[in-house]
Chain A
Amino acid sequence: MKIFFIVFSKEIISFMRSIALVAVILYSFTADIYIAGAGMQIRPRNVAIGYVDNSGGGISQKILSHFHQPEFINPKAFTSQQALSDAIFNKEILVGLIFSSNFEKAYVNGHNTKLDVLLDATAASQSFTTLSYLQNIILNFEKIDIPITIKSHRLFNQNADDHSFMALAELLSIITLLTVILTAMVFVKEKEEGTWDIMLLMPVNPKIIILAKSASQVFIVTIGVILSLGFVVFGAFDTPLNGSFWSFILLTLFYGFSSAGIGLFVAAVSKNIMQVAQISIAIMMPLIFLSGAWTPIYAMLPIFQKLSLISPLRYYIEGSESIFYRGTAFIDLLPYFGGVIILGIILYWYGFKKIGNLF
């Protein structure tokens, strides 16, 4: 136990001594998460709309007046369809509306009226949402009396606040990234300097050394998580916390050890820090982006869905979302805890064995 604490504090001290490293870690847990959260707004916002109005005004202008801040920038008039499509080609305009010359007449006379819309489909989600806004605007404009009301409830995140969601997703990615890299580095540094073999040959139980070394890195990351929750996630973005704070910290701790396990594995297979950097990116990019933070698991290709079952991050992300937003009861969180713990044990055990072998 004493040895554990000595190694543990040695690692913490040597971490603290590297001021640049501390600064980078602090940056990633605060400013970086802030930037990701503040910058992201996937709902349409400031969508640039252009239009060509050959119909002579009236109805077309009434429709256009419904596009306003913050979702849309005031629609910009173009004299010809060519000018409008040029602007779309240069990405100055996302959505173009074309009111043909017989638009108003047809509408007033009760004929079928067509409104031509050009969409920049490279920004697919904005364009689609804009299209559905447009449909709603026209529906409202026509004042069609449909005898139904749809009462929609957006649960857990009523305002569809992208900022707090993005900040949280970013935090989860940073946790993964740093735990894996920091853990792998601690071991590979010793490997590079040749002191790791000596460590294993010392009359000290190598298991305790490995445990203490990885625990110290998990500890550093956990402190970062708490700072980040306090200053950024709750401080700057008012993320709702509908579940229990401590179950999140507990889940984070378990998750920390399973990513440390990945770190141990990376350390075991790489000979120098250059390889650590490349291998951990090769492992983590798929891990982070295919674990449900960007695309829900069920919408992915079947093969990725199967693969994601062995990613501890998948359970961690779903679990954290459930804790923060859905306010899920502890009993319903057990599958996530189970997933993280079981995978954690396997990864940690495997990495442990690999790094602990001298030959």
Chain B
Amino acid sequence: MKYNTVKAYMIKEFKELVRTKLIILVYLLPSMIVIIFGYGIRLDVTHARLIIIDNDKSKISQMLSSKFEHTKYFDTIESNMNEKQALRRIKQAKTDAILIIPNSFEKNLLKGQKSELGVFVDGAFPTRGTTIQTYIEGTILSLVQKVLQAKGIQQKKLISINNRNLFNQSMRDENAIVPGIIGLVLLIAPAIIAALLIVKEKEKGTIFNFYASSLSKNEFLAAKLIPVFLLHSLNIFILFLIAVYLFNIPFRGNFLLYWLASELYILVSISLGMLISVITKKQIVAVVLTIIITVIPGFLYSGIIMPISSMDGVSQVEAHIFPVMYYNHIVYDTFLIGQGFHSQINLLYLLILIIFSFVLFSAGRILLKKEMK
């Protein structure tokens, strides 16, 4: 190892990052994404816009409407518009659901006769549609049960469900999202910088400096990758502080595990970027390729929107091919669960991350050429 040459090369790379102002983005981009996602994405359905068309105007139907009014899940409008007008509002995306209470609803209910309530839900956003529908049906059923019990029509005792929400007692969306976003960001940001490092020189022709120099492949890669690695290592702590102090995410696990896993993960990400940089010839191809293979799978397989265990066969295999799943398991563990090094799965996943970085790095190293073809 020619220590001085490598050092000089590293300083040059570092200065380049500073002079091109990329250093700002190295730190701005990850924090910005975490903050925007943490505040912006809501998986929980709240403030769904509901139009209640109350044709009965009785005491029970009023009770039903007010029950919808007093939750955070719905913003209700009581209206006399007819069904057609209401449906048009759904078509204009101005409302999400309509509830139609038939006339003589109260009378029928108290007599024990069937009455039919109409619910229309906008299904264009499938998950939300389903959730809104479940909420509405649940609210109606529980109210009707209560009314019937109070009036003595229905006597039977019920099985009540006593649920405990583990890891995220308050069911805060932030807790479920922010740790996952860290896994997404630490995959994308280092990979994009690393992806451009070598291909940039190829496109400009300065790669010949390397071909002609006495620097070996290993030294060249070390000089290229170590500055990016070190700069991004700081992000591990910045993101941790944002998560814990800005979003108040509990940190129940082992910080050492979080730190170790994150460093390994950055190594994986940088190696991936380097591999892309080695196999592509143009910067634009490298950029688009990196974004396509990090952003989308990173989001899909992060476990933010759906747990890996409930994926279908093929997607489940794909999720296992991607590093993000392993890292996110550890991150969620360190933030919300707290098993730390005692969990064998964490240790296994740590090992898998090591294998990932080793394989990707070796592949890039082998494909990198030291001379002109």
Q: Which of B311-335 contact A (CB under 8 A)?
A: 311-312, 314-315, 318-319, 329, 332
Known: A123-B303, A282-B29. A43 touches B141 (CB 8 A): no
**A273-B287 CB under 8 A given contacts A124-B43, A156-B124:** yes
The answer to whether A21 touches B288, judged by C-beta atoms less than 8 angstroms apart, is yes
Q: Is B168 interfacial (CB-CB < 8 Å)?
A: yes
Known: A146-B141, A147-B113. A117 touches B125 (CB 8 A): no
Give the chain A neighbours of B300 by CB distance below 8 A.
35-36, 39-40
Establish whether residues A43 and B40, one from each chain, have CB atoms under 8 Å apart when the complex forms: no
Chain A residue nearest in CB terms to B287 = A277
Residue of B nearest to A329 (CB): B91
The CB with the most chain B CB atoms within 10 A, among A127, A277, A325, is that of: A277
What secondary structure prevails in chain A residues at the interface with B? helix
User: A-facing mask of B185-201, CB < 8 A → 1, else 0?
Assistant: 00010001100100010
Give per-residue flags for B7-22: 1 if the beta carbon is below 8 A from chain A beta carbons, else 0. Answer: 0000000000000111
Q: Which of B119, B166, B192 contacts A278 (CB 8 A)?
A: B192
Query: Within the assembled complex, what's the spacing in Å between the Cα atoms of A343 and B200?
Result: 34
User: In B178-213, which residues have CB < 8 Å from any A CB?
Assistant: 188, 192-193, 196, 200
B128 at the interface (CB under 8 A from A): yes
Q: A128 contacts which chain B residues (CB < 8 A)?
A: 44, 131
Task: Determine if B80 is an interface residue (Cβ-Cβ < 8 Å).
Answer: no
From known contacts A39-B318, A328-B92, infer whether A301 and B125 are also in contact, taking CB-CB under 8 Å: no
User: Which residues of chain B have C-beta atoms less than 8 A from A91's C-beta?
Assistant: 307, 309, 329, 345
In the complex, A314 Cα to B165 Cα: how many Å? Answer: 34
Q: Which residues of A are found within 8 Å of B92, using beta-carbon distances? A: 322, 328, 332
The number of residue pairs between A and B whose CB atoms lie closer than 8 Å in the complex comes to 364
How long is the Cα–Cα vector from A113 to B168 in the complex, in angstroms?
26
Q: Is the CB of A286 within 8 A of B36?
A: yes
Smallest CB–CB gap between A225 and chain B, Å? 16
Partner of A148, one of B44, B96, B109: B109
> Interface residues of B, CB < 8 Å — how many?
121
Contacts of B280 in A (CB 8 A): 20
Interface residues of A in 275-310 (CB under 8 A from B): 275-279, 281-282, 285-286, 289-290, 294-296, 298-301, 304
Verify B332–A122 contact, CB threshold 8 A.
Answer: yes
Say yes or no for A116: interface residue by CB 8 A criterion: yes
Does A89 make an interface contact (CB < 8 A)? yes
Distance from B344 Cβ to chain A, minimum over Cβ atoms (Å) = 8
**CB proximity of A247 to chain B, nearest CB, Å:** 14
Closest B residue to A44 by CB, please name it. Answer: B310
Q: Which residues of A contact B254 (CB under 8 A)?
A: none
Q: Tell me which residues from 1 to 54 in chain B have a Cβ below 8 Å from any Cβ of chain A.
A: 20-22, 25, 28-29, 32-33, 36-37, 39-49
The answer, yes or no, to whether B371 is at the interface (CB within 8 Å) is no
Within 8 A of A (CB), among B90-109: 90-93, 96, 108-109
Q: Which residue of B lies closest to A146 (CB)?
A: B144
Cβ–Cβ contact B29 & A138, under 8 A: no
Which stretch from B154-162, B229-237, B351-359 is at the chain A interface?
A: B154-162
User: How many angstroms between the C-alpha atoms of A300 and B44 in the bound complex?
Assistant: 11
Q: Is the CB of A326 within 8 A of B90?
A: yes
* Residue B285, interface by CB 8 Å: yes
A142 adjacent to B159 (CB under 8 Å):
yes
A116 pairs with B164, CB closer than 8 A: yes
| Assembled-state Cα–Cα distance A110/B154 (Å) | 13
Quick one: which of B49, B163, B193, B287 has the most chain A CB within 10 A?
A: B163
Q: Is the CB of A273 within 8 A of B126?
A: no
Q: Does B55 contact A (CB under 8 A)?
A: no
Do A157 and B307 touch (CB < 8 A)?
no
Cβ–Cβ contact B93 & A318, under 8 A: yes
Q: Closest chain A residue to B26 by CB distance?
A: A278
- 9 closest A-B pairs (Cβ-Cβ)? A121-B168, A39-B315, A325-B124, A157-B123, A121-B165, A278-B25, A154-B123, A160-B126, A117-B163
- 9 A/B residue pairs, CB under 8 Å, sorted by A: A24-B292, A35-B300, A110-B157, A118-B163, A154-B123, A154-B133, A155-B124, A276-B287, A296-B96
